[in-house]
Chain A
């Protein structure tokens, strides 16, 4: 007996329209239910919001550190010590080579004379230095490269070491390497947190949906008895999960932006001590939309999980008699 009753529904187009109408109705009904019971819903949204906000907040801290460190005033300087006996014209030649390199940001030459004068003025060894026959200090070229990533810096140093008349190349790479290591570590922590807290979101939504399923037990039974398909039974719960997830994501967005407003003042003071006009970066609109997508997807997944786990434990009950 092939759906004789539904033959009254005239065609594929009508069926499609009815299906869409059902989606529209179920989506708005579930949202209205959540808004009517707004206290309970707000609690769930807040829990989900906090779970989603933590990794997002860490992510924002990281993008701000990267943005700041990328253009630090204390950029690494490479000090290039030339050999002792190079002439002024040879020094100019090396300087020219370094200057022409596309990675060079700024170059400064310190001649042996300047170095000696500076040293005398600062060290207080003036008399001793005066007694020397010749200036023991070499010419030094201070280079500020554009690219400050550890790997690029190493490459550059190797190149410079190969230049003629260069005696020694010195750079303090350790702090940069540490910073990048910390950023890489932070990214991992953010990912791990995202995974763990996503699991939390799944469980919170799953558990909330499980309770909703329990509360609507009779309804599910009746719907199944009068010929509702599994999809029809599932639909309201998936929409519930969707709204929980979306609400959680919006809550997270609001939480993060509120925190940023709260922190903006002090952070900008710190940042401005390094750089003139730095303003704290928040979530872009695209990132916010991505957060909402992630939240609602997680919500639906949690709901789907709960529904598949609990739904087929239901079989409608006629009067227990036979």
Chain B
């Protein structure tokens, strides 16, 4: 039994049924400790995205409980959701960048939302951009960047707020193997400085190479729960 304080995510018998009867997740239970790096694998439609949506409270569980650092997110009010999301960095397969804003402004967005002062924003954005190796692209529009660079902007935005938890949904989905490895290395680096990382992917080769814990979903069920 793990100590409760170090558990970042806990799923307790969670099911998610969408209107129309399809059950995306059924009776999923697991825990992720602080500082862990975990891969979430499975086919398309296995429920990976649904599971992540439950963590950032884009969806609510039909049954069971989802705990984030001890807080039952099924029970929180709509108004408290923004505060929860500010502690989670999220990276998307399609980057979700704003193409009418510079790289700097894209990365600064979470800090502006959290109410940081101008000078602090500049400092943190540059720190995040240097971590992903894009220091010289700060004034560029995302459209002028390659796919791998856009993904790194997305990662910089996810970590700029120094979240304790980093979620990534198919972060290497559109990238060639070389770039994928580079992106994974970045996530690994964040994990090494203490960030809890959860990555949904179907790139099994990458998963096996990194030798991290794996949660495998099959048709909404957790099949290998180490």
Q: Which residues of A contact B (CB under 8 A)?
A: 1-6, 8-9, 14-15, 17-19, 21-22, 218-219, 221-229, 232, 315-316, 318-322
Asked whether any CB of chain A lies closer than 8 Å to the CB of B188, the reply is no
**What are the 9 A-B residue pairs with the smallest beta carbon separation, nearest first?**
A322-B50, A227-B86, A322-B49, A227-B85, A18-B115, A226-B110, A3-B83, A321-B49, A1-B69
CB-defined A-B contacts under 8 Å, sample of 23: A1-B84, A3-B87, A6-B86, A6-B114, A8-B116, A8-B120, A14-B115, A15-B115, A18-B116, A19-B115, A219-B98, A221-B96, A222-B98, A222-B109, A226-B85, A227-B85, A227-B86, A227-B110, A227-B113, A227-B114, A228-B82, A321-B44, A322-B53
Q: Give the interface size bracket for B toward A.
A: 35 or more
CB-CB under 8 A from A229, the residues of chain B are 79, 82, 113
Q: How far is the CB of B42 from chain A (nearest CB, A)?
A: 9
| Inter-chain contact A1/B98, CB cutoff 8 Å | no
- Residue of A9, A222, A318 most packed against chain B (CB within 10 A): A318
In the complex, A319→B47 CA distance in Å? 11
Asked whether any CB of chain A lies closer than 8 Å to the CB of B93, the reply is yes
| Inter-chain contact A223/B24, CB cutoff 8 Å | no
Q: How far is the CB of B181 from chain A (nearest CB, A)?
A: 21
Asked whether any CB of chain A lies closer than 8 Å to the CB of B4, the reply is no
| Inter-chain contact A4/B87, CB cutoff 8 Å | yes
| Inter-chain contact B87/A1, CB cutoff 8 Å | yes
Q: How far is the CB of A199 from chain B (nearest CB, A)?
A: 31
| Inter-chain contact A9/B114, CB cutoff 8 Å | yes
Q: How far is the CB of B51 from chain A (nearest CB, A)?
A: 7
CB-CB under 8 A from B85, the residues of chain A are 224-227
| Inter-chain contact B48/A322, CB cutoff 8 Å | yes
CB-CB under 8 A from A221, the residues of chain B are 96
In the complex, A3→B92 CA distance in Å? 23
| Inter-chain contact B170/A5, CB cutoff 8 Å | no
Asked whether any CB of chain A lies closer than 8 Å to the CB of B68, the reply is yes
Q: How far is the CB of A3 from chain B (nearest CB, A)?
A: 4
In the complex, A226→B24 CA distance in Å? 24
| Inter-chain contact A227/B115, CB cutoff 8 Å | no
Asked whether any CB of chain A lies closer than 8 Å to the CB of B32, the reply is no
| Inter-chain contact A5/B162, CB cutoff 8 Å | yes
| Inter-chain contact A6/B115, CB cutoff 8 Å | yes
Q: How far is the CB of A228 from chain B (nearest CB, A)?
A: 5
Asked whether any CB of chain A lies closer than 8 Å to the CB of B196, the reply is no
In the complex, A2→B164 CA distance in Å? 13
